[in-house]
Structure 1
């Protein structure tokens, strides 16, 4: 068994993978900038090798590895590659593509061998396109829903209050609502612009996937396990 770790900007996800590639139940927790503490709180079984996809910088990854090494002596951080399993990276410097984006594409391509669009809705809103030959066509990176709202409210003199009101996909009726609904409209607009003439599977992942899904066409599906499945699809040399 191998322990798979998806370390994102705000959340940490864990699953176990058997040799056949099947995943155990996925456990997720907000890490609040301290992934080692969040990892310990999830109580992963000790002794298994750990395969990690992290969006953090190298120094933070080294601190995380040091914190878990006593329980998991074998640790491997996965990086984006030029190609794998027939999927080809569009970046001239492949390692600069976010590993979470790469692994999500790898998982879906390995499963379907078909054209796809993957939208990851989290701190950032990322979109990646893959054609029917496995060529990554590139993508987009924009602020996520919360990031957009924080940027507007933090950079202006609007009087505003903290709110957890739902997104309605209609004009707002107070300052917070106007900013919130504009963030949703901007995200949906970018997604619709990108996929207007694209033919292929359409998948949403990330913490805000369920927020966006009701406002998109019926052919979109959510797949919260894609990054972990991408980790499972990477063959690690002994």
Structure 2
């Protein structure tokens, strides 16, 4: 059965088309171009099922539903436990669906103590134990949001660009390197917390649009434990889709 996976993030839609366990195609779509997505999928087997994760709000959900009016979309919601992951949030339903999907994807890929980092519009750094327990995490503004906050909250800084540098020698460099230091610092702090908690080696799974920007800024000890992976949310959705297919086949 062909299944369309949709990851509706804050800035764009990421999608993948599966046939059973096989990935047939994947891509990215701007929200202004959503109406054309069904036509992009026309060369592939007809979509029979849709599993989606949405943190972009109800307007985007409505747009997506209009693209496939004959197919109900199964919207992922966080729960107390699913696919080998136990949700440690005090109120499990409050955890963002994208973070939940990323944790499920991470658990399917690695069964060790993990720091799951999603570097997008916001950056989340989540601790996942080797037994599949989501211990908690932090949310910080992403690279773009940090720069925009400085531009909005000050009279003269604006949005100057700058290169990475050991010591920033321009305002643009100071802003860029300050944001990267804050992001890598959040990862380092959570890494230290999880390492102390588990008493074991911790791996870092890094995904998201700013992953390539952040990875070179991590300290060597963390860089040695780093695994870059694209579309971790889609990997989590794929894991859930495959489990559903297996259950239907055995029913």
Select the structure that is richer in helix: 2
CA gap of 1:111–1:208, structure 2 versus 1, over 3 A, is same
3-state SS of paired residue (2:22): coil
Aligned to 1:231: 237
Aligned to 1:112: 110
TM-score, length-scaled by structure 1: 0.87
CA offset at residue 37 of structure 1?
4.1
Equivalent pairs, count: 230
TM-score, length-scaled by structure 2: 0.83
3-state SS of paired residue (2:155): coil
Supply the distance in 1 between the matched residues of 2:165 and 2:129 (Cα, whole angstroms): 31
Which runs of no fewer than 5 residues in structure 2 stay unpaired?
A: 196-200
Q: How large is the RMSD of aligned CA atoms in angstroms?
A: 2.2
Runs (4+) of structure 1 moved beyond 6 Å?
none
Aligned to 1:155: 153
Supply the distance in 1 between the matched residues of 2:123 and 2:227 (Cα, whole angstroms): 16
Q: Deviations over 1:165-216 (max 9, x none)?
A: 44x1433222222111110111111111111252322110110001111222
Supply the distance in 1 between the matched residues of 2:33 and 2:99 (Cα, whole angstroms): 20
2:236 matches 1:219? no
3-state SS of paired residue (1:26): strand
Aligned to 1:192: 188
3-state SS of paired residue (2:48): coil
Supply the distance in 1 between the matched residues of 2:30 and 2:217 (Cα, whole angstroms): 26
Which runs of no fewer than 5 residues in structure 1 stay unpaired?
A: none
Supply the distance in 2 between the matched residues of 1:204 and 1:52 (Cα, whole angstroms): 21
Aligned to 2:119: 121
